[in-house]
Amino acid sequence: GAVVSQHPSWVICKSGTSVKIECRSLDFQATTMFWYRQFPKQSLMLMATSNEGSKATYEQGVEKDKFLINHASLTLSTLTVTSAHPEDSSFYICSARDFEGKRGGTGELFFGEGSRLTVL
Amino acid sequence: SQQGEEDPQALSIQEGENATMNCSYKTSINNLQWYRQNSGRGLVHLILIRSNEREKHSGRLRVTLDTSKKSSSLLITASRAADTASYFCATDAVSNFGNEKLTFGTGTRLTIIP
């Protein structure tokens, strides 16, 4: 079964509203989670690294005030797209590393199923 | 910037044939991984090869790594219709901090024709 859960799997919202996407590690603790964005038929682009208990590290060109990341616990990171616009429509994917969990703690990276955001 | 470039961008083969995809990267790496993505879904980890390894097998998958050429290949033997998906290579940058982040290649869209 899935070890990283994303919710919602898809969301449609009106322009100007904010949308929150959750990423949960189900049976391991993840001090670090990663948020990616993927446009149709393109590769994954890393947006930010989410660090438990501290501020996220954003990649160049990603607006931190636009894409708010909160990693309040060892099993949950959230990405909030604030004041969403049609150009924010995309597929957002999170991943988490298992360094200490039940799955051997190998540091393997597990991905969520992604969240498709459509902004009207 | 994209670390990995993959070729071909798209590949269509008959079921039963072998499929080969290539990935090139630019900087030093700890390891290289291959992922599969079905349309509109998340990524599934296929195989990881470390920088000190040259070849690795997993079922019908064979991965090679040439660090001198900064390139890797993924071979899927005896392809099946269910192998239709996009395949991405991802490199793990050399870092001392233990939270290395992956950089993905551009991907190869593989279509297996029944």
Cis ω for the linkage preceding B114 (within 30 of 0): no
Closest Cβ opposite residue B107 in set A34, A43, A99: A43
**A95:B40 CB<8 A:** no
Give the pLDDT confidence score for residue A107 in this predicted structure. 62
Give the pLDDT confidence score for residue A100 in this predicted structure. 57
Q: Is the per-residue pLDDT at A102 higher than 80?
A: no
The C-alpha of A39 sits at a distance from chain B's nearest C-alpha, in angstroms, of 10
Name residue B4's amino acid: G
The C-alpha of B105 sits at a distance from chain A's nearest C-alpha, in angstroms, of 6
A16: alpha, beta or left, given left = phi > 0 and alpha = psi -120 to 50?
Answer: left
Q: CB under 8 Å to B64, separation ≥6 — which residues?
A: B49, B54, B55, B72, B73, B75
φ, ψ for residue A30 (rounded to 5)?
A: -125, 105
**A41:B40 CB<8 A:** no
Give the pLDDT confidence score for residue B97 in this predicted structure. 45
Helix (H, G, I), strand (E, B) or coil at A57: strand
**B45:A111 CB<8 A:** yes
CA distances, A93 to each of A47, A76, A117, B20, B42 (Å): 10, 14, 11, 26, 7
B108 or A29, higher pLDDT: B108
B51 or A109, higher pLDDT: B51
B60 or B2, higher pLDDT: B60
For residue range A49-74, list pLDDT tens digits in order. 988 888 899 999 999 999 999 988 88
CB contacts of A9 in chain B (<8 Å) are none
10 Å CB burial of residue A70 (0-12, 13-18, 19+) is middle
CA distances, A71 to each of A79, A90, B1 (Å): 9, 22, 26
For residue range B78-112, list pLDDT tens digits in order. 999 999 999 999 988 755 444 567 888 889 999 99
Range 39-78 of A in CB contact (< 8 A) with B? 41-46, 49, 51
Average pLDDT over residues A7-29: 94
Our CA angle for B80, B86, B89, nearest 5°, is 115
The C-alpha of B110 sits at a distance from chain A's nearest C-alpha, in angstroms, of 12
Q: Which two tokens stand for residue B16?
A: 């039963």
Residue carrying structure tokens 């446009």: A39
Give the pLDDT confidence score for residue B114 in this predicted structure. 92
Average pLDDT over residues A94-106: 66
Give the pLDDT confidence score for residue B2 in this predicted structure. 38
Alpha-carbon torsion A90, A94, B111, B25, what sign?
Answer: positive
Name residue B33's amino acid: Q
For residue range B18-68, list pLDDT tens digits in order. 999 999 998 888 889 999 999 888 898 899 898 999 999 999 999 999 999
CA dist., res. B106 & res. A118, Å (int): 23
